[in-house]
Amino acid sequence: MPTAIGNIAIYVSDLEKSERFYVNALGLEVLTRINTPAVHEVIVGSSSGGSNLMLAKATGSEAPVRPEGIWKVFLFTDDVAELQQRAIAGGAEWVADPEHLEQFKVTIAFVKDPDGYLIELGQRHT
């Protein structure tokens, strides 16, 4: 019985704002939209591969979103410094400047999304 993960869903407080952030600032694509009476959902990712993140807003809830439990969303890019600048210009909160990790052959930087979810930006070095 094969199993695979379709997506991982997080609650957001403002779906349009989060969609703009993940698409315009982080460079991801909208892969699917699902609207039901109870919840509005936008799945973001890359059509060329990788994992899928569902941004979800319960229609009847104005409760604050608590970015706990989830630690981070990890994004690959080919220019981590530029992506971090673009993310901050697009509303991200700065967390940590790019740092090269020789052990893992990667440079990583951190920002937070509009709800405070931690985003790790990573650039592989070969």
Least distance CB 44 / a copy of itself (angstroms): 8
Residue 108 binding a copy of itself, by CB under 8 A:
no
CB of 110 to a copy of itself, least distance (A): 12
DSSP state, residue 23: I
- Cβ(40)–Cβ(30) below 8 Å: no
Distance CA 12, CA 63 (A): 10
Residues 10, 22: Cα–Cα separation, whole Å = 13
Q: Which is nearer to a copy of itself, 52 or 93 (CB)?
A: 52
Binding to a copy of itself (CB under 8 A) within 47-86 occurs at 48-54, 56, 65-79, 82-83, 86
How many Å apart are CA 30 and CA 43, to the nearest integer? 6
Interface contacts to a copy of itself, rule CB under 8 A: 1-11, 26-28, 34, 44-46, 48-54, 56, 65-79, 82-83, 86, 104, 115, 117, 122
